[in-house]
Each structure stands twice: as C-alpha cells, then as structure tokens.
Amino acid sequence: MSDLLLEANGVVKRYGSVVALRDASLAIRPGEIHALMGANGAGKSTLVKVLTGAVPPDGGDIVLKGERRRAHSPAEARRSGLVSVYQEPAIVPDLTVLENLALTETPVDAFRAQLEPLGIGRLDLRAMAGTLPLATLRVIDFARALAIEPDVLLLDEMTAALPADLTAGVIEAIKRFRGTDRSVIFISHRMLEVAGLCDRATVLRNGATVGVVDVTPGAADDIVSLMLGPGSDEPRAPGDPTAVTRTPMPSRVGDAPPRLAVQGVAAGRQLQDVSFDLHAGEVLGLVALEGQGQDELFEVLSGQRRPAAGELLVDGAPARFGHPADAIRAGIVLVPADRSAALLMQRPVAENVTLPRVARPSRWGPINPRRERAIVRRAIERLQIDTRAQSEVRRLSGGNQQKVTIARWLDAGVRTYLFYDPTRGIDIRTKREIYALTRELAEGGAAVLLFTSELDEIHRVCDRAIVIFGGRVVHELAAAAADEPTLLRAAHGLESRPAGSAA
C-alpha cells in the first residue's frame, strides 16, 4: 500500500507565454480508482498529455512503478504500462476493427472477451470502424485498453457522451480494478459518477494541485470548493454546486400560439412521430438515450434536414426549412454539443461572433468595424469568455468555445434556441454560467429547447421536460416532478410509476 504505482511531482508545462501547468502533482496507489478533477483551464488535459507522453514537460518528473520516466509518445507510454482512453476514441475510421487492433498490437482474444460484459457482444470485428456508431467506438476503445491489461488506465471524459446502458458496463469494468495491483485515473465532470466510483480525488486549479480528497459521502462539496478556489464567493446551495436562481415563469398569454409547434414530425430511421409545443419564455428539456431520434429532430428543427412527415409551425404559421439559413431567418438557431460543428476553429473569436450577423446575403457591403468591435466586446463581457487566446478559436478551452457558440447569437434577433447537450465535457463552473445564461435567455422571452445527457440539468434549468424513446414522445412532465429515476425509467421506455405521474 505504501508503494505508489504512478507519481507525478511538480510538473511544469509552458506553451509560449501561457503557463498550462505550474506545479501539478499526482500520486496513484495500486488498486485505486483515482479521480482527477479541475475546472476548465485548470490543466487537466495538459497533465494527461504529459503523463501519456504526447507533450514533453518543462519541469518536474514522472515515476512509474518506481522508475523515473519520460515517455516521448503514446506508444512508449503504452509499452511502459500506461494506457489512455479519451472522449474522442483513438480508432482509425478507415480501418476495420480488426485492423485497428493490429495497429495497436492488441491481442484479439483478450479484446473479444471484453465485448460481452461491455454490452457490445454482437460486434462484427470486420466492420469498417467509420461505419459504427460513435458510442460503440468509445466502448471499443475502452475494451481495447482493457485487453492490453495496463498498469494504469487513464480515462479522460470517456463516459461523457456514453448512453446510460453502455456506461453501466464501463463502470463495472472500472470497479474490477479496485484491490488489484493496477489502477484507474478517472477524469469526469459528472460529480455523481466520481462520487459513486472513485476512492480518492486530486484537484487541480490554475495549473497546480490544490488538494487530494478521500471520496466519502459529502466529499463532493469539498471537491467543488477546491475546484472553484477561495476567490469565488458566489452563493451556492449546499450540495448543489450548480444551482441557479430561477424566477418563476411568467404566466403564458393564453391565446398566443407557441413559438414553435412540432406536429407529427418523422425523419430517417429513428424519428417516428414527435409532437410538442415550445413556448416563448420557457426552457423545455428533452431527455433521450442515444439514438432515439433526437439527432434527427434537431437536424429537422435547425433546417439541416427535411422531415419525411409532419409539420413545423413558427408562431402559428407553417414553416418549411430547406437550409439552416431558413431556420436562422425564422429566429431558430442550433447550439450543438460539438463546438467544431458550429465554429470556424481557425478564425478569431471576433469573426466567429460577427459571422451570423454578416452572413445574411441581404446585407452586402462593408462591415462597420466600430460596430463589430462593440458587439464582440459586449458578447465577450456578457459571457465572461476567457480571451487570452482569441486569435484562433481552436486554442480556447472547450467551455470557452461553447460560450462563443452561444455568444454569436446574442443580440442577433434570435428568439428560439436549440441547445443540443451544450455542456458536454465542460467544467462545472462554465456549466453553471451556461445554466444561468439559459435561464436569462428564457426570461428575456426566448424559447429554449434543451437536449441533455445529464438528467440533473432538467430540474436545474428547465421548466418542463419531454422524454423521447423509440422516436416518439413517451412522457411529459413538469421540471419539479422530473426526478432522475422517473426520467431514467421513461427514457428506457418503461411505464412511469403511478406515483410519479400523480406528483
């Protein structure tokens, strides 16, 4: 127990003038599941890159199994016993699953043995990886890591976008490391997962390790206050670090048609028949497991795809969207989970913010630079975007990128927001800012449709929620009644308990 499996001491990493890690330390005992926590920009990703050899550190040292080591590539780290799995699976799309195994020199039989308990036992190993669903690829990546039997398994946000049924198998597999001579480093923004799974947690803030916490009941509060730091004196309810103040929803004008009425919409294979109304001034939550038709629904609503059946009414008038520009003209905009699907990653923040305003073909001619600067400054201030690296959006952290995606629509006359899992892979502090902003938008009269993979966001942010299963709305309930067991049962297509519907 006294001997450490992996140790990082005083790791320093600078990118030019930006200091990503000042003094990061980490001590992993054999047989433990160790959480690595920290807000956006705290240095988690950089520490992971240093540990896996993707970038060389500028100072400090890493000791694995008592040996001082500096891996120069992921391959070397893998050989010395440290294997990592990321949110974006390290699977090459144009090779088959078998070829991907050969590429990483993974024993096929050991890999195959992992599939059944992880819930993908029917996987065809000769399938081209690029044709498989993303969730399956994530689990394949994980199974491959298990098959190598690493000393240290590093999981970086790998459960962030996994549907609930696949997550269960992954969690079980992680738990099997406990008490062995091998360990797991677990990185997740989902406090509940960390609380339920991990033994200890190391918390990073501003590039330095600020504490190591034993994960006991109630430790979540300690972790959050360590992550936020002493400087933050924002009010927060005990046990609910992301609570937002919510003013009661103004009562709806009885006669006004809904901002957006969806009637019997079907598209593709998944979306069968979905109807709901989205009113001005409300945040409507949407809960669904992966692949229940929500992707197609958002594509239809944002004008990326024509529905096979059904109708959309905007303010009571039928609307047909042949192009996202049509939806934007109708005041409906999409904020996707994948920031790179919305932003010009290689262009500056300012251009990204102003693009929706200047992209209208009806407004040719020069752009007024003073007006542009004012708009950008206002958006940046309102959303507290960290602009240290604003010359290229891709150099911002994930949370700040998501803020830019939202910022670009503020003041642009948008009245309906489609949020598709906007807080995926984002730290708790930025999440809270996005929750507050979502409420603010609704209270300003906008209508917000919020699909989320995190069930607690329903009662944190929404007024009302619908659950989609098998391409149909199977449940609708007020946010107050939307406790997680009820939502989870409905999302799995189970009948809701009589008590739940009565409440």
Considering only 19, 90, 110, 249, the residue that binds other proteins (CB under 8 A) is: 90
What is the smallest separation between the CB atom of 402 and other proteins, expressed in angstroms? Answer: 20
Residue 47's nearest CA partner among 75, 17, 79, 82 is 82
Q: Does 99 bind other proteins (CB under 8 A)?
A: yes
* Residues numbered 51-70 forming contacts with other proteins, rule: CB under 8 A: 54
CB 301 within 8 A of CB 466: no
Rounded-to-integer distance, Cα 414 and Cα 407, Å:
11
Q: Which of 56, 59, 93, 133 binds other proteins (CB under 8 A)?
A: 93
Which residues contact residue 94 at a Cβ distance below 8 angstroms, ignoring those fewer than 6 apart? 128, 129, 130
Q: Which among 28-36, 81-89, 407-415, 436-444 is the span making contact with other proteins, rule CB under 8 A?
A: 81-89
For position 91 contacting other proteins by CB under 8 A, the verdict is yes
User: Tell me, what DSSP letter sits at residue 70?
Assistant: -
Q: Is 105 in the site for other proteins (CB under 8 A)?
A: yes
Using the rule CB under 8 A, is 102 a contact of other proteins? yes
Q: What is the rounded CA–CA span in Å between residue 12 and residue 46?
A: 10
Q: Residue 147: name the closest of 198, 206, 102, 210 by CA.
A: 102
Nearer to other proteins, 105 or 476 (CB): 105
100 binds other proteins (CB under 8 A): yes
Contacts with other proteins in 114-133 (CB under 8 A)?
122, 124-128, 130-131
Q: Minimum CB separation from other proteins for residue 53, in Å?
A: 10
CB of 412 to other proteins, least distance (A): 33
Check: CB of residue 310 under 8 Å from CB of residue 353: no
Query: In the complex, what is the shortest distance from the CB of residue 370 to other proteins, in angstroms, rounded to a whole number?
Result: 37
Q: What's at 381, amino acid-wise? A: E
Candidate ranges 78-86, 270-278, 365-373, 422-430; the one touching other proteins (CB under 8 A): 78-86
How many beta carbons lie within 10 A of that of residue 197, not counting itself?
A: 19
**Residue 161 CB, nearest approach to other proteins (Å):** 16
Q: How far is the CB of 231 from other proteins (least distance, A)?
A: 35
* Closer CB to other proteins, 75 or 341, in the complex: 75
All residues at 6 or more sequence positions from 76 whose CB lies less than 8 Å from its CB, including other chains: 53
Compute the least distance from the CB of residue 105 to other proteins, in Å.
8
Rounded to whole angstroms, the Cα distance separating 304 from 435 reads 26
Q: Which two tokens stand for residue 58?
A: 């500028």
Question: Is 483:460 a contact under the CB 8 Å cutoff?
Answer: no
Question: Measured between alpha carbons, how far is 281 from 495 in angstroms, rounded to an integer?
Answer: 30
Site stretch for other proteins (CB under 8 A), options 95-103, 204-212, 259-267, 425-433 = 95-103
338 binds other proteins (CB under 8 A): no
Binding flag, residue 503, other proteins (CB under 8 A): no
Q: Considering only CA atoms, which of 277, 270, 276, 278 is closest in space to residue 299?
A: 270
Residue 75 in contact with other proteins, rule: CB under 8 A:
yes
The DSSP call for residue 4 is -
User: What are 348's two structure tokens?
Assistant: 């500056």
Question: What residue ranges bind other proteins (CB under 8 A)?
Answer: 54, 73-75, 78, 84, 86, 88-95, 99-100, 102-105, 122, 124-128, 130-131
